[in-house]
Structure 1
Amino acid sequence: MRASPAAAAILGAAALLVPPPAAHAAAGATLVQLTPAAACSAAVDLVRAGATVVAPRLALYRLAPSAGRSLLARLRARGEVRLVEPDRTAGRLARLDFSDPLVPLEWWRAAVGVDTLTPPPAGRPVTIVDSGLDVSHPEFLGRPNTETLNAQEPAGIGGEHGTGVASLIAAPANGLGLVGIYPEALLRSWDAAKGAGTELATSEIVQGILAAANAGKGVINLSLGASTKDVVIEQAVYQALRAGSLVVAASGNDGDRGNPLGYPASIPHVLTVGATDRNDGVAPFSSRSRFVDLVAPGVDIPIATAIGKGFKLGDGTSYAAPLVSGAAAWVWTVRPQLDATQLFEVMRRSARDVGDPGRDDAAGFGVLDVQAALAYPAPVPDPLEPNDDVEFVRPGGLYDTSLPPLTTPTRRSTRVRARLTAAEDPRDLYRVWLPRGGRLTATASADSDVDLSLWRQGVTSVVGRGAVPYRLARAATAGTSERLTYRNAGPGRFAYLAVTFPRGVRDATYLLRVQS
């Protein structure tokens, strides 16, 4: 059984999605996001109407189904509502008992290169946003460095799926059963599954991602997904990325079911993981796409189970992703000088190539290789991500993460070194200051062909023909060294400077200099 194309799911065969006929709202509740310009009274009115705060930084509220219809109409009329959507159930889980006995050998250890390595003590945290953790399971009972960020439901049991995911990351070497990839990891769990422990609501996923990000830089594991984007989950992911965390997601289990794009796996800058079998073959169910970064073992994987507090086998990209998350935390602990953008590239580009030579949509760059990741040369940092389009850098934009402008009326020149890569980071945008009656000069020197262009305020995206009337200037020549100049005849104002690359180019590292 695979994930439904209509709703999000936890992506593993040890805890499988039971597809609902549609993406239903969780108990009819509504998510309301206010605009950045909304008056404080709008938030007060929502709370008085019974709304609860989901994410203050996102101005996101959860409104009960019986409250607020007339209030929403008034707020909309005043232009204070950015979006309204149902607080959807992200999926329902059913438990599947395997008749096969638990395989005592964790075959994945040799496959990812940890069978001859000694993992470090606790360092960078790994947070699972999942169905909760059974802290009374023998693998986790009394385990140090284990934190629950909210109540784990059902009380006294915790989530079946979340417990399996957690065991792959951090089951300790206690002589009882499994040993996770990073057995002494600082493990955190946010239970996003409520009710009987089998339903995930958008609001809970958002809160879990932000709780992990707010607890400090670390790795966030999302073994869940949907075939449609959810804006507020995207916003939470981008906030976490901007705060310096690495987000890892399972690619999905629809490779043999039409292979739709899955989310959050297909959100740029998310490290997306597919699943392999014992022979390094990509599992038929593993979703393929241009966003797959690497693969890890995900077939016949021994995991802990909350039911009976024992062990079982599981299949799914849900179990490949935590191997990468645990490995990433291991590498980050040993190489603390890396930032999350560097770690992202180290983990995927150090992967062991399988199948067709080079990167492909099934295996990404290849199979997780921890030993190679520990030694892989670090690329230059890319510290101003995410900045992929106008809505990321415009104050109050849909994906605004408070990225400061490159130049201002008081800081008229700067330089920044950054990177572009196909699918995950195809363009960079920066706000720059155009002085009254003055000139802006921008130069880019890169190791591949890049393009420079300047856009006036009012453009909503620099992609597509509709953006062309907003373009103020572009570099006169193409190549690895470009220069753009623009004289501003009007009052001082901000504009958007874009760095992109032409068709056929997949990666570029560049040095951008701006003078106004």
Structure 2
Amino acid sequence: MVLGSPVRLSSTALRGARRLAAMAAATAVTASALTVTIAQPASADTTTQCSFPAKPYDGRPWSLQRVLLNELWKDTDQGAGVRVAVIDTGVDTTNKQLKDAVDAKAGKNLLPKKPKKDETGRATPRGKADGTTDEVGHGTKVAGIIAARPARKTGFVGLAPKATIIPIKQNDANGSGTAASLADSIDYAVKAGADVINISQDTAEALKPDSALEQAVQRAVQADVVVVASAGNDGLGGKNKKTYPASYPGVLAVAASDRNNERAPFSQAGDFVDVAAPGVDMVSTVPKGGHCVDNGTSFSAPYVAGVAALLRAKHNKGPDKWSQQNIVAQIEQTAERSIPGHDRLVGWGVVDPVAALTEDDKRIDHPVAREGVETAEKPTPAKLQLGETEQERNERLGTYVLVGGGTLVAVVAGTSLVYRDWRRRKHPTASS
């Protein structure tokens, strides 16, 4: 696979771009001219599309209703001091919930200088150099799930609402991002001081071992950065393949779950999946203000990145400071499981934010399959007794004695009364 392998975004926000890319792909004739393949839609529901700005979402989204936020934020200061790099389509800071969440000075636009053009010959503008331009809305949604600040007239808020977002623009509606620009973005995020990196996209095709992208991922992991990536949306097609960078060692690969804590039908499955997180009907911030609903593993990944940011905030100081491996293992260990161990559909289970932040008495390096597994000494089987047991015999004899004694007393008492009445009748003057 060439270094310029295209990368794709994993959400429903790019349906139109996918159609255009598919038309262009039909004209490709060489590997070097390979056009971008945008991820298949997570849902056929077109109601998730919206224009910018959008109306604010009044209530509390279901993905947040499943979390006791006060308990989640109890000892984490809501992620304050933690920096999360969002490598995506940019993050629009005109949305009031993101204005104070984004470090624009640290942001970067790494979109290729000559972005791809659609079939009309129009290329998406590169936008601001600091990565705060987002024509698609994808990166703005991702950032909101992680660190959107509380606001009036909406119950939506990020899981780590005091964390700081580093916006890194690396892709656009035409799929101009490549494996090379994604690798550069990861390296830049590390240099910019990211504690967590969120990547809600994947390459259109598998990459060769030891590719530039894999090397960039490994450098980030070695720098003690938690790298979170979406698993992809090819589940409906039943494709059994690995996605990158989610499949690389050290990356926390996130699938999508629904309201029933089950794998969303579109979510990519595979042994590389580590955990699942809400990815259906996900409410989040959009450019210019307001909120929209979308589906995809693109929005499951930032849900987990938000939890990782809270863990970093809680365990980022002192001699017992947790490494990125500790944080990844904690998220996996405390996930809600349907089986004792790892599952190819949802990994170690559906992430449980509160459990991850409260069941943290000691740090671990790897998750352990323990739920539902018998570890105690097995009880000694009871002896099979075909006849009457000694206890049953004693109870039976005791019953006989009790009933017999009562009967004897009654007989004696009755006999005494009869004898007394007989004496009275025979000797009327006799003393009773």
Normalization by structure 1: what TM-score?
0.55
Are residues 1:108 and 2:63 paired? yes
Amino acid in the other structure paired with 1:325: A
Equivalent-residue separation in structure 2 for 1:92 and 1:103 (angstroms) = 32
1:13 aligned partner = 12
Q: 1:124 aligns with which of 82, 102, 107?
A: 82
Q: Sequence identity, in percent?
A: 29
Equivalent-residue separation in structure 2 for 1:334 and 1:325 (angstroms) = 14
2:396 aligned partner = none
* TM-aligned CA distance change 1:243 to 1:267, over 3 Å: same
* TM-aligned CA distance change 1:136 to 1:87, over 3 Å: farther
1:191 aligned partner = 169
Cα-to-partner distance string for 1:13-67 (whole Å, 9 max, x where unaligned): 234461645998xxxxxxxxxxxxxxxxxxxxxxxxxxxxxxxxxxxxxxxxxxx
2:395 aligned partner = none
1:98 aligned partner = 48
Q: Tell whether the 8 Å contact from 2:86 to 2:199 is kept in structure 1 after alignment.
A: yes
Equivalent-residue separation in structure 2 for 1:18 and 1:421 (angstroms) = 40
Cα-to-partner distance string for 1:390-430 (whole Å, 9 max, x where unaligned): xxxxxxxxxxxxxxxxxxxxxxxxxxxxx7999xxxxxxxx
* TM-aligned CA distance change 1:365 to 1:309, over 3 Å: same
SS in structure 2 at match of 1:342: helix
SS in structure 2 at match of 1:365: coil
Q: Tell whether the 8 Å contact from 1:303 to 1:311 is kept in structure 2 after alignment.
A: yes
Are residues 1:210 and 2:187 paired? yes
Question: 5 Å matches for 1:359-378?
Answer: 359-374=342-357, 375-378=359-362
Q: In terms of Rg, which structure is larger?
A: 2
**Which consecutive residues of structure 2, in runs of 5 or more, have no partner in the other structure?**
26-30, 111-125, 370-432
2:236 aligned partner = 256
Q: Of the two structures, which has the highest relative contact order with CA contacts closer than 8 Å and spacing of 6 or more?
A: 2
- Tell me the CA shift for residue 372 of structure 1: 1.6
Greater strand content: 1
SS in structure 2 at match of 1:129: strand
SS in structure 2 at match of 1:344: helix
2:222 aligned partner = 242
* TM-aligned CA distance change 1:92 to 1:289, over 3 Å: closer
- Tell me the CA shift for residue 312 of structure 1: 1.0
- Tell me the CA shift for residue 261 of structure 1: 1.8
Cα-to-partner distance string for 1:417-457 (whole Å, 9 max, x where unaligned): xx7999xxxxxxxxxxxxxxxxxxxxxxxxxxxxxxxxxxx
Amino acid in the other structure paired with 1:288: A
1:338 aligned partner = 322
- Tell me the CA shift for residue 105 of structure 1: 2.4
2:305 aligned partner = 325
Equivalent-residue separation in structure 2 for 1:161 and 1:253 (angstroms) = 15
Cα-to-partner distance string for 1:254-291 (whole Å, 9 max, x where unaligned): 11113232111111211011111111111000111111
Are residues 1:138 and 2:93 paired? no
Q: Tell whether the 8 Å contact from 2:85 to 2:194 is kept in structure 1 after alignment.
A: no
Are residues 1:161 and 2:161 paired? no
SS in structure 1 at match of 2:177: strand
Equivalent-residue separation in structure 2 for 1:378 and 1:223 (angstroms) = 30
* TM-aligned CA distance change 1:99 to 1:292, over 3 Å: closer
Q: 2:107 aligns with which of 149, 160, 173?
A: 149
* TM-aligned CA distance change 1:420 to 1:373, over 3 Å: closer
2:281 aligned partner = 300
Greater helix content: 2
Equivalent-residue separation in structure 2 for 1:317 and 1:286 (angstroms) = 7
Cα-to-partner distance string for 1:125-147 (whole Å, 9 max, x where unaligned): 11111110111122223446565
- Tell me the CA shift for residue 167 of structure 1: 0.6
Q: Tell whether the 8 Å contact from 1:228 to 1:263 is kept in structure 2 after alignment.
A: yes
Q: Tell whether the 8 Å contact from 1:114 to 1:370 is kept in structure 2 after alignment.
A: no
Q: Tell whether the 8 Å contact from 2:254 to 2:297 is kept in structure 1 after alignment.
A: yes
- Tell me the CA shift for residue 87 of structure 1: 9.8
Amino acid in the other structure paired with 1:163: T
Q: Tell whether the 8 Å contact from 1:103 to 1:302 is kept in structure 2 after alignment.
A: no
- Tell me the CA shift for residue 300 of structure 1: 0.5
Normalization by structure 2: what TM-score?
0.65
- Tell me the CA shift for residue 116 of structure 1: 4.0
Equivalent-residue separation in structure 2 for 1:180 and 1:87 (angstroms) = 40
Equivalent-residue separation in structure 1 for 2:160 and 2:267 (angstroms) = 24
- Tell me the CA shift for residue 111 of structure 1: 2.9
Question: 5 Å matches for 1:413-428?
Answer: none
2:119 aligned partner = none
SS in structure 2 at match of 1:169: helix
Amino acid in the other structure paired with 2:138: H
SS in structure 2 at match of 1:325: helix
Instruction: Give the alignment's Cα RMSD to 1 decimal.
Output: 3.4
Equivalent-residue separation in structure 2 for 1:132 and 1:207 (angstroms) = 15
1:414 aligned partner = none
Amino acid in the other structure paired with 1:345: A
Cα-to-partner distance string for 1:171-227 (whole Å, 9 max, x where unaligned): 101225431111111111110025x67521223211110011122351110100134
Q: Tell whether the 8 Å contact from 1:168 to 1:180 is kept in structure 2 after alignment.
A: yes
Equivalent-residue separation in structure 1 for 2:257 and 2:183 (angstroms) = 29
SS in structure 2 at match of 1:18: helix
Equivalent-residue separation in structure 2 for 1:210 and 1:22 (angstroms) = 33
Amino acid in the other structure paired with 2:296: G
Task: Single out whichever of 277-286 and 144-153 deviates more from structure 2.
Answer: 144-153
Task: Single out whichever of 222-231 and 160-169 deviates more from structure 2.
Answer: 222-231
Equivalent-residue separation in structure 2 for 1:149 and 1:255 (angstroms) = 33
Equivalent-residue separation in structure 2 for 1:316 and 1:277 (angstroms) = 10
* TM-aligned CA distance change 1:13 to 1:379, over 3 Å: same
2:381 aligned partner = none
Cα-to-partner distance string for 1:303-354 (whole Å, 9 max, x where unaligned): 1222x53211110000000010011011111011101111111111111113
Aligned length: 319
**Which consecutive residues of structure 1, in runs of 5 or more, have no partner in the other structure?**
1-5, 25-84, 382-418, 423-516
- Tell me the CA shift for residue 114 of structure 1: 3.5
